[in-house]
Structure 1
Amino acid sequence: MTQEAGEVALSKQDLREVTAFAAACAETVLRVFEADRPGDSRPRDALEAAWEFARGGERGKALRDRAWAALKASKSAETAASCEAARAAMAAAAAAYLHPLAKATQVKHILGAGAHAARALELLADDRTASAGHLAQSVRRATPAVVAVLTRFPAAPEGGGRVGELTRALDAGLRSLASTG
């Protein structure tokens, strides 16, 4: 396959690996949203769609629709922690749509679920240090394939508030694995 300048080589298996990683990160905080909105299954549905793709399903309208639905669910959340938990689920489903563009903004597709989940934990505990354990677990959770995909892209972009800071921390942690391996 010929690659255009500014593009990153990505296989469907790469997308599955990234989506599985993102779904595993988001699953850790799904309970936060469900405790707040027990009758709203949109974030859970998005995670189920992400796992379905990661395990061999196809990307399609249902996956995209569930990601958008989880984003809408985040807007109905009663608490900031619950909102971030729903956004983590949205980001997990959206990870399947990582674009092969050599742009730092694409890193959010890989790490967004982990960063939103970390922020949910901080907000739940009312403690900015509460994300440290989640970030460390996310680094341990990443497969060599996820790290290989991440390192094909530039480092995470500046900005994005606290979620952006958490994205950059997770990015640095995963890139350190590549430099020691």
Structure 2
Amino acid sequence: MELSMTELREVAAYAVACAEPALAIYERDRPDDPRPRAAVAAAKAFADGGERTKAIRDSAWAAHRAYQETRDAGLAAASEVARAAVAAASAAFLHPLAKATQVLHILGPAGHAARAFEIDAGGDRTVGAGHLERAAGLAGPVVVGVLARYPSAPPGRGRPGELVRELDATLRRFKVGP
């Protein structure tokens, strides 16, 4: 499988659009921690034509540390936002390997952001469903075409994984066809 730089940029732009709305949750809980926003900004810079550099990977690792710290501090919604940021930065490095785990680079930002919104709303799953609906509407033909080259999203990974699989099924059914 081949992925063009244009396709990678489209996927990264989609990942940013899915993760970015949730950053306010993280920043409310951790106002002095810029790591998730920096990871999303690095992905956006790539999507806007920047180079695929080590700085993007470094920002993803920093956001991953933010995820671990907020998870350990019991800030579940903030930790999901940080995971969405990690996934957004990782979208720039989507591998052209037909493996289900690669779908997480495409749809993980939406799944983790949706989960963050659910947790922030006291566990209200309709809030997560609303974010997934918006995320489905943001997926243009390039993103859906790239997604269609991969196997369906992998099993497991808790509620965020369930949300990713829901979005994956929606995009494959309604945008790609039977």
Q: TM-score, normalised by structure 1?
A: 0.93
Once the two structures are superposed, residues 116-165 of structure 1 have per-residue CA deviations (whole angstroms, 9 ceiling, x without a partner) of 00110111112223201100000001111000000011111111111110
From 76, 81, 90, give the equivalent of 1:80: 76
Count of matched residue positions in the alignment of Structure 1 and Structure 2: 173
Map 1:30-69 → 2, pairs under 5 A: 30-69=23-62
Once the two structures are superposed, residues 49-76 of structure 1 have per-residue CA deviations (whole angstroms, 9 ceiling, x without a partner) of 0000001111111000001101111122
* In structure 2, distance between residues paired with 1:146 and 1:87: 20
Matched, 1:133 2:130: yes
Which residue number corresponds to residue 179 of structure 1? 177
Matched, 1:164 2:161: yes
Task: Give the AA of the match of 1:85.
Answer: V
Q: Where do 5+ consecutive residues of structure 2 fail to align?
A: none
Task: Give the AA of the match of 1:166.
Answer: L
* In structure 2, distance between residues paired with 1:42 and 1:22: 16
From 67, 86, 89, give the equivalent of 1:90: 86
Which residue number corresponds to residue 105 of structure 2? 109
Q: TM-score, normalised by structure 2?
A: 0.94
Q: Secondary structure at the match of 1:56?
A: coil
Once the two structures are superposed, residues 19-71 of structure 1 have per-residue CA deviations (whole angstroms, 9 ceiling, x without a partner) of 00000100010000000000000011111100000011111110000011011
- Shifted more, 56-65 versus 75-84: the winner is 75-84
Matched, 1:29 2:22: yes
Which residue number corresponds to residue 147 of structure 2? 150
Q: Secondary structure at the match of 1:66?
A: helix
